Structures are given as C-alpha cells and as structure tokens.
Structure 1
Amino acid sequence: MAQQDQFDYVIVGAGSAGAVLANRLSADPKVSVCLLEAGPADRSPLIRIPLGVMWLTKDPRHNWLFGSTPQEGLGGRSVSIPRGKVLGGSSAINGMVYIRGHRADYDAWAAQGCTGWGYDDVLPYFKRSEDNGRAAIDDAWHGRGGELSVQDLRDPSPMDHAFVAAAEQLQVRPCPDFNTPEPEGVGIYQVTQKDGRRHSTGAAFLAPIRARANLTVMTGAEVARLQLENGRCTGVVLNRDGGEAVVGARAEVVLCAGAIGSPDLLLRSGIGPAAQLKSAGIEVLRDLPGVGQNLQDHVDVMVIAKSRSTTPYGISVRALPARALDTLNWITRRRGMFASNMVEAGGFVRSSPQEDRPDIQFHIIPGRKSHRGRMVEWGHGVSLHTCVLRPDSRGSVTRTRPEGAPDIDLGLLREDSDLIRLSKGVKLAREILRQPPFAPHGLSEIIPGDHVQDDAALADYIRAQARTVYHPVGTCAMGTGPGAVLDPALRVRGVDGLRVADASIMPTIVSGNTNAPAIMIAEKAADMIAAEARAARAA
C-alpha cells in the first residue's frame, strides 16, 4: 500500500459542503488541506447551462445514480436517487433552488440538545456564504458579497405568474421572499445562478482558490475506507491505479460525502451497528448504532397536465421557431429557456389549519414532464410537484456485504400520516391547476387523470407514482441521545480525529430544499474546527 503525503485536514467529498469547507480551512496558510472527490472536474457544459439539469439527473459520469431498495409504501417499487459525483457534488446537478427552511426546524435541533444550532445561531452562516443579487432584498435575512451567487430568475415563465395568481384564487398568499424565518405562500424561487449560469459550490468556492499553495484537490479519488489506529482516524485509503494508497491526516478527516456516502464510508470502515457489520463480514472497530439510521427524505408526487397553448416550455412543430430563438438567446445573452432551472416557482402551504407551519411544498415546472420515464415528451403542459416537508417515515443506509453499493431504504410512505398529508397536498395542487389564470392555456390533466376522484383512488395513485424529491438527510445525526452518531460539534462519537459535515448530520429534515442548509453546515463546521485548532495551539 503506497503512502502519500500527509496533510493537516483531509476532506472526503467536494460537494455542497466539502467545497465550502475546503475554502474556509485553506484560508489559513498555516494549515494544509486535501480535498478528495471521486468524480471528475466540473467542466461539462451541461453543468453551466441551467437547463442541463434535465440530463444531469441521469448522467452516469457526474452522478452516482443510486437506487433504493423496494419500497413497501410504494407497492414494492424502487426509485432512483441521483447524487452528484463531480466537483460541486449535488450542487452541480440539482435544481438550483435556494431555500433554507423554517426557523422552527433549527430551533427544534437546539431543543433536542444540539446546542448552537438554533435559527439565530445558524443565520449568520447562511448570510456569510450568500451574495444576493436582488437590490430590494431585506439585509436582515440575507447576505451580500459572499461567494455563492443567489439571484432572481432572469426570465421566469409566464406559467409561474399564472401559478401564483391561481393559488391566490384559493386564498394562498404570495410570498416574495422564501428565506425569511417563517416562509409561507407561493412565488418564484431564487436560484444559485450567476449571470444566467449555474453557480455550484465548485464554481463559487473552489474555482477562485485553486491556486492556493496549501490546498490539494484530487479528482477521481474514490475512498475505500478510513484508516483507524488506536481509536483515532489517521487518514483515508484510496482505490488508486489498481491498488491502494493512503492519504494521511495530522489533525482531522472530515466526511462531506453526503447522506448516502458518509454513513456508507463509516460502515465500510467498521464504524456502525455491530450486529449489522458482523453480518456483512466487516470487522467492528466502533459499535455506533445510529450510523445509517434515521434516513429522511421529502416524498413527492406530480400532477401533470397538457396544454393547448405553446406558452409552456415544450417541443412541437408550432414551437420550433421559439426553441430556435431560445438557443440564440442563451448563446448571446444567457437568457431564456436555457437559463431556466425548470422548477422555477412553488411555495409552502399547510395541509390543514391545525398545522403550526407549512407542511407541504410545491415546485412547478413550466413544461410537461414525462410520466413514462422519458427525457422529454412531445407537446406542452405544466407539471406540479407536491412534497411532504416533515415526513414521519424513516429509512436507512445499510450494508449486507463489504463491497458494492449500499442498501438504501428511503422508507417512503412507510407511515400513513405521510400519505394523508400528501393526499391533501395533491388535492390542492389539482385545484390550483383548475383555476381561471390557467384557463387561457387549455390545461387538461394527464395524471392522476379525471378517473381518480375518491380518496382510495388518489391513495392508490400516490403509492404508484410517488418518489423522492432528492433531499436525503439524517444518517449521521448529531445529538445527545443513544442514537446520535455525532456530538453537536460534529465529531464522531468514540473516534478521535473524525468529523462529518454535510446533510447527513441533520437530526430532522428541514422544511425545504436542502442544498443551502448543507452549505451552512460546512460554514459552521469550519468555524468549529478552526476554533478547536486555535485552542489546541494555545494549550
């Protein structure tokens, strides 16, 4: 086994969190940082072009393309789980929606013993990253001058405005800013774009600092396992050129491989539930029952309608001139359809007045998404996603063998309470699409379809069509109880020199898209790591 150079910090995963952490830690010229990414550099034009998201979700070069185990709540179906495998990670292949969640999400973490993770604690870290381009945005809640460009969509579709107007017909209020402490209502999302192009964490946090002498970025560097010696993590073992090589860490190894990758790497390294590891043929180095447990994701289902008008994005003979102009518009001005993140508008609503805060989120696509698994469908229409924000169902990431992909059970609709909430959300989604602002476009529902009317039929439809909205979290949860994998400083319990800093650390899922929270987690982790290092030097 070849021994490579030692670094002070080794970060596994150059995604939404890892790229941020590498930027912040390497800002201190006294320390050396190595950032490891299993995927390639982020050079593909599909990453830069926002509309490229349509292809990136199924692109094996930039995507791990995980799949779930058969889901009992979905009638035994398996669902796809796209995860970024490239510099920038999932921020390089996602829908670019910038959402933080609700104040109560973070205050709940603090109430569960995660000291320092309440809303007022984490708000400064959200603001530090952000460079918000809206002149009238409230600076009490937003940052300017950070690395991450957050902007209004340059050319929102007319269908977005129809959606907002239609929801107003049903007394759902407009929400001009979804990143205030208590967002509720509908509107057009802000996105992580810069001048009409995707602004991933690779572009925002890595590209400007690649010349730092104390930062080494390695792509194509897949980590096989952690190296542990006498209860301390001293580095990682890479699969390299048909053999193995070690990258050593003098101070810490930090896992930023995401809610699938981070727990799986712990399991492969012998850190996790002892009985499971033994059954999988993995030597137990640290019995930690919570590793891979507590998996949460936003269960989602769509209502899809076709349109008689060509205003929605789509492919048809009548729309060919418009598509040609879209291409020219992108090439010359970085505007138009190719600057679309596709999930342009949406919002947060309550499934019933008894809910203390919104528990349903909408994402509307101003185009007709395929309900048959195709990349695109001929024609025009709209597709309205509905998801449950705080599901009761739980899943897991486990191993039944030492090698190969992990077993990912998302647990979708395992609890009937999630089905009930989702059914209420879908009913509202269908009503929104039937309101007068959509009338000029001549919408007619494709799925669920007019034959699906009673609660039983709707429940059957949801179980047959629901899937994830790609927000897995919680599998290396921080906390103070027996199931916690990490302490509130994100240190792995019982293993020195090892930390986790990504969406897997969430004890409970946030009420919204998870990319911005993952960036915040890395910002806060960087401060904690630097503070501990200063204290150690002063001791």
Structure 2
Amino acid sequence: MFLETATYVISYIEIKLLVPVITLFQYGLILVSSLPLGYNDYPQHATVHNGQSFDFIVVGGGTAGCVLANRLTEISDWTVLLIEAGDDPPALADSPGWSTLAGTSLPDWGHNTVDDKRTSQAHKKRNIHLTSGKMLGGSSISNYMFYVRGNPADYDGWAERGNPGWNWDNVLNYYKKMERIEDEVIQKHSGKLRGQNGYLGVGRFPWEHRTESYYEIFKENGRNILIDYNGKEQLGYAPPQFSIADGIRQSTAAAYLKPIKDRPNVYVLKNSVTRKIIFQDKKAKGVEISLPDNSVINIVANKEIILSAGAINSPKILMLSGIGPKEHLQEMNIGIVHSSANVGQNLQDHVLVPVGVTGKNNITSIIHNADALVNLNKFPIATMLGFVSLNKTQKYPDYQTTVCPLPTASVLAATLCSQMLDLEDDACIDLANNSKKTELLFALITLLHPKSRGSIRLKSKNPLDSPLILTNYFSNEKDLDDFALYIEDYVTVLNTNYYRSVNSKILDLNIKQCKGLELGSRAFWKCYILNTAWTHYHPVGTCAMGPEGDGVVDNKLRVEGVQGLRVVDASIMPTIVSGNTNAPVIMIAEKASDIIKLDHGISPI
C-alpha cells in the first residue's frame, strides 16, 4: 500500500510539473517564431477606407478562404478582398514538427462548448475546447495534417439528398486538381485516382522500423493492410498521408496564398473582424468590419460576398446579419432579413475516445522517445491510420483509428492525456504509470457517422462574443450503442498471438464516473465513452447544403432567401465525411471557385 501511494504521489507531481513545462515550451516556440526576422511570405496588410469596393469579399482567411483568394484572382480583372481576424501565421507554422509540438498555443479563437452536465465529464473543465485557427491558413495550420478524402459513399450521399454535382465522380476531379502527390509508391499504386500537379503537396511517412510489426498484428486480426486509403478502397490500416511536402506543412496559407502574395488584384485585411453583412432589399451589398485600430467601416462588394469563416463563425455571422431562426433573432433583438430555421442547426462532429493496450517491457525502446525532436520535417510521432466497418460487405467505414505505438517510459502518453485530451489528473497518472513499465499501443477511436446533431446559437449580439456551442454528443442513443460495439471490435487485437504472449491488458484510466463497472463490459464502455468523449476538431454542417427549405445553401452554395451571398467552408456539409475534414474543405473551396466563375460567365482555368 505504501509503495502504491508513493508511486501515485510521484506520478501526480510529474504530471503537475510536466504540463506547465510543456505549455511554457510551446509558448516559447510561438514567441521566438513571432520575432520579426525580415520575412515577407504573405500579402501585405491592405489599406482600405470606408465605402471602398471590391468585386468579391471573402470573409475568413482560413482553410477555404486562402483557396478562394487564389482561384478567384486568377481572373486578372477581378479584385478580391480577403478579411482575416488573425495575423500572418507564426514562422514555425511551416515546420510540421514544431507546429505540432506548439499545439494549442497557436493563435486560436478560444471556442468552448457548453457543459451539458452529461458528456465529457471526465475532463477537467467538463466541456471541450474546439480549437479553431485564428490566422491566415486557419485550422490548416493548427490541425494535425492528416490527409483523408473521405469515402465515395459520403459524396454520393450528398447528391442523393438533393445536391446535384456533388457526387464522388464530380468531386474526385477537384481532389485530383488540388493534390501534388509526393510519394512514388502511391503514384504507382493509385495511378489516375490521384493528382500530381496541384498546389497542395501530400506525402506519407511509413515509419517501417516502428510500425511494421503492428501491421502484421492488425493483419492477423483480420484487417486489410493498404497502401493508399485515398485510392481504390478505404477499409483497412495504412501509413497516414499528410499535407506535408518537402518538409513543409501544406497549410492553405503556404500552399495557396504564398505563391500569389504579389498578385496585384488580391488584397488582405489582417486582424480585422467582420461584424455583419449589410443587405439592401435582401441583396448582400457589403460588410461591416472593425479594423486593427478598432475603427468600424463598411466595405462594398460589386459581385458577391463569400462567407468562409468556418462551421462555428459562419452561422454566427449569418445570425448577426439577420439570417437565422426567427425566434432566436427576435430574442437577440436582431432585425430579420430572412427567417431560416436551419442556420446553426445540424452541427456534427467526430467524437473520439482514447483506448490503450499494454505491450512488452522493452527497455531499448526508450530511445524512441527522441523521435518527436529529431523528425521535425515530418509528423513527429509514428502513427497508423485505420478505417473499419463491422459489416464486411459494406464499403464505407464505421469507425476510424489513429494508432500510435509508444515506447517504454514515453512522455507522450501523459502529454496527450493531460494536454490534448484534458482528462483529469487521475486518468493521466494511470496512463503515465503504465507507460513507465511497458510499451503502449495508444489509439484514438473515432465515431465517423454520428446520428446526433448539435447547434450554434448566439450568446449575444456582440460580434466579439463566442457563440454558444451545443454539441449534443450522444443525444441519439444509437451513437453510444454503436460506439461501444466499435471499441469492442477494436480491442479484439488483444486476441492476436503477440498480445496474448505479453499478457496484454486494456488500460483502465480509473474514470471515477465508471467506478464499479467491469472493465471491458458493454456497460463500462458506454460509461467510458460518455465521460471521456472528446472532439476530433471536425465541426461541420451548420450551414448545410440542401434543396430549398431543407438547408441553408443550395448546391451552388448560395444562401437561400437572399442574393449575392455564398458560404464556402465545412459548414456546408450536409453530413460529415468518413475521415479528417481538412482535405474535403479544400476540395469544397476548389469546386466553389469554379462554380462562381461559371456563374459570372468565366470558364474555369
């Protein structure tokens, strides 16, 4: 008992010391990278005046906004104003390793979900911080760079819901247009399904010395081993693909904005907040913005305004502008331009939970703890990606696994637990204690197709206030039942020869809300999922595309009920895709650019 208590106390001190040290390290990285070093990689901050006009105004210089700024200014006589609430990204943003280690210290909107008193209760704050990049490039700089297109069934499903032109065969053309595959094995394997001349470099890092034996384990467990999950089939395990090329993070700021920084018809306003859209007889005529000096001016759009502020801020701006649920706008004392009950509804997100299993006591694997600091030109942690369906005849996955083989005495286990997942100290202490003794197979299991729907609502009519984000995770009980089945399916890996030989066990993180439930039982997993649920940072759907009356925008992404206004970002997804959402958002922006050109009589380039 004494030894157990002493071990707990030591681990508690370690966790309490580790987190502030890592946080200090992250902010130190940001501070150093923000020093003026004479670089001029992005367009200069534009000087504008009240009443000035541009052909197109793009609100939000994030993942989609940078793509639109590039593609629309290909038309030399169109002027485009890109409005970004943040600044240039810090210098370390180009480094895949350093930007990953910087984590939540990168410029961010600071959005937090509402504590629903039911889900995510094993986290320190009982709610979730929805990281959302606030800088040029947006969340394509603060994400983890996994490059996943999704599944053909996702897009065929969009088309079947009344959105012609968004089926797989159509969107595939835009994936090929945007990609520049840097991996010869994938080029040879997937041939005409992949692009080789696009702006966005895509690479992969197999980590053979760290992961090869685990692929054999998953193969024994009945999983397919793939070369390219973005190719002919998605179901199986494979080395992840990343938006990384030539050692550079392929954010849309780096890939799409840097190359056009001197293009004379692109104008970029930085540190400037869009307060609302200005309408005249239901036609979007301009935007009201606050400049870095806090002065408020109006800017006019000659052709269109495009909202690319993301799944949280785009519906917020629409509601501040008078487009949204009638009763809610009246409650906020906002004049109604168009009553649209669907604005801010249909919020979907990929929910994940951590699952760890113990391996062998391999003291030599400790040397792999240095991997994160010596692989700064790529993703710093050896990782495998899996897409699994319980129905063997089904061609799309039910759940996704992001699997990291961690060495003995890995500090990453505690870091992931305490900082990224924000779990309570007791859970992270248990994880840290286990990582001292054995190797760990640490996985994030993700529910890919939730039936539950959340919402975005205004907290006030102050444009600077974050909105109320209600995730409503597991409000549809079938999500909880299905998720428990998926985890039960994943942990069958313990039945393989290797894990039986090392007497592997599931890590019990001692979630106090699940005390007394048998580890591994259906009741335990449902309790565990409910309380440890975290976000994969994939909010979508809050300005969903759909036929009239069923969505917020039509299949050309035009906001219903008004003129001169579109939405182009993750919020237009009717249903969430089967995987990480960064690549689909870039595809959406590429396709939207062609739609806009065609609507204005210009043949796409």
**d(CA) in 2 for partners of 1:243, 1:433:** 61
Q: Which SS does the other structure have where 1:3 is aligned?
A: coil
1:121 alignment partner AA? N
Tell me the alpha carbon deviations over residues 222-261 of structure 1, each in whole angstroms, 9 at most, x when there is no partner: 1111111221111211122122122221111101111111
Task: Say yes or no: does 1:297 pair with 2:349.
Answer: yes
- Aligned residue in 2 for 1:425: 486
Partner residue in 2 for 1:374? 419
Match for residue 197 of structure 1?
A: 248
Residue in 2 that maps onto 1:20: 67
Name 1:504's counterpart in structure 2.
Answer: 571
1:177–1:309 CA distance, 2 compared to 1 (3 A): same
Query: Deviations 1:384-408 (Å, cap 9, x if unpaired)?
Result: 0111111100001111421211011
Q: CA deviation at 1:195?
A: 1.8
Supply the AA of the counterpart residue of 1:499: R
47-56 or 190-199, which moves further after superposition?
47-56
2:147 equivalent to 1:98:
yes
Change over 3 Å in CA distance of 1:311–1:192 after alignment to 2: farther
1:17–1:522 Cα contact (<8 Å) kept? yes
Once the two structures are superposed, what CA deviation does each residue of 1:332-357 show, in whole Å capped at 9, x if it has no partner?
xx55xxx2254731111113447563
Letter in 1 for 2:100: V
Alignment counterpart, residue 306 of structure 2, candidates 254, 259, 272: 254
Contact in 2 for aligned 1:279/1:400 (Cα 8 Å): no
- Give the whole-Å Cα distance in 2 for the aligned partners of 1:310 and 1:483: 58
Equivalent residues of 1:72, 1:414 under 8 A apart: no
Partner in structure 1 of residue 333 of structure 2: 281
- Given residue 28 of structure 1, which amino acid in structure 2 is its aligned partner? I
CA distance in 2 between partners of 1:365 and 1:89 (Å) = 26
- What is the deviation of 1:200? 0.8
- The one-letter code of the counterpart of 1:220 is N
1:50 shift after superposition: 3.0
Residues 395 and 409, structure 1, Cα contact 8 Å, conserved in 2: yes
* 1:259–1:475 contact (8 Å) kept in structure 2: yes
User: How far apart, in 2, do the equivalents of 1:499 and 1:12 lie?
Assistant: 10
Q: 2:77 aligns to what?
A: 30
Q: Judging changes above 3 Å, is the alpha-carbon distance between structure 1 residues 220 and 437 closer, same or farther for their aligned structure 2 residues?
A: farther
Task: State the distance in 1 between where 2:115 and 2:179 align.
Answer: 39
> For the Cα contact (< 8 Å) 2:94–2:249, is it kept in 1?
yes
- After superposition, the Cα gap between the structure-2 partners of 1:207 and 1:277, relative to the gap in structure 1 and judged at 3 Å, is same
Question: Is the 8 Å Cα contact of residues 55 and 78 (structure 2) preserved in structure 1?
Answer: yes
Amino acid at match of 1:34: L
Assess, with a 3 A threshold, how the Cα gap between structure 1 residues 355 and 326 changes in structure 2: closer, same or farther.
Answer: closer
2:521 is equivalent to residue 469 of structure 1: no
Going by fraction, where is helix more abundant, 1 or 2?
2
The CA distance in 2 between the partners of 1:354 and 1:458, in whole Å, is 26
Question: Secondary structure at the residue paired with 2:54?
Answer: strand
| 1-structure distance, mates of 2:489, 2:355 | 10
* Residue identity opposite 1:514 in structure 2: T
Tell whether 2:96 aligns with 1:49.
yes
Pairs within 5 Å for 1:79-478: 79-135=128-184, 136-153=188-205, 156=207, 158-180=209-231, 182-240=233-291, 241-305=293-357, 308-309=361-362, 319=367, 327=373, 329-330=374-375, 335=377, 339-340=378-379, 342=381, 344-353=383-392, 357-367=396-406, 368-370=412-414, 372-374=417-419, 379=436, 381-403=440-462, 404-432=465-493, 435-437=496-498, 445-448=506-509, 452-478=519-545
User: 1:150·1:192 contact (CA, 8 Å) conserved in 2?
Assistant: yes
Deviations 1:443-463 (A, max 9, x none): 654345795121111111111
How far apart are 1:44 and its partner, in Å? 3.2
Letter in 2 for 1:39: G
Distance 2:364 2:572 in 1: 42
RMSD across aligned C-alpha pairs, in angstroms? Answer: 2.6
- AA paired with 1:360? Y
- Displacement after TM superposition at 1:429 (Å): 2.7
Tell which structure's C-alpha radius of gyration is larger.
Answer: 2
Normalization by structure 2: what TM-score? 0.80
SS in 1 for 2:193: coil
Q: 1:138 to 1:352 in 2, by over 3 A?
A: closer
Distance 1:325 1:127, change over 3 A: closer
The equivalent of 2:15 in structure 1 is none
SS in 2 for 1:228: strand
State the secondary structure of the residue aligned to 1:216. strand
Q: What percent of counterpart residues are identical?
A: 33
Contact 1:301 1:467 (8 Å CA) reproduced? yes
What SS does the aligned partner of 2:216 have? helix
Whole-Å Cα distance in 2 between the matches of residues 299 and 397 of structure 1? 17
Q: CA deviation at 1:95?
A: 1.2
Local SS of the residue matching 1:414: coil
By how many angstroms is 1:535 displaced? Answer: 6.7
Structure 2 residue runs of 5 or longer lacking an equivalent are 1-47, 407-411, 421-427, 511-516
Q: What's the offset of the Cα at 1:53? A: 2.0
Q: Residue 469 of structure 1: CA displacement?
A: 0.9
1:439 is displaced (CA, Å) by 7.6
The answer to whether the 8 Å contact 2:276/2:288 transfers is yes
- Aligned equivalent of 2:546: 479
Structure 1 residues 193 and 434, CA, compared in 2 at 3 Å: closer, same or farther?
Answer: farther
Give the corresponding residue for 1:315.
none
| Count of residues paired in the alignment | 519
Letter in 2 for 1:418: D
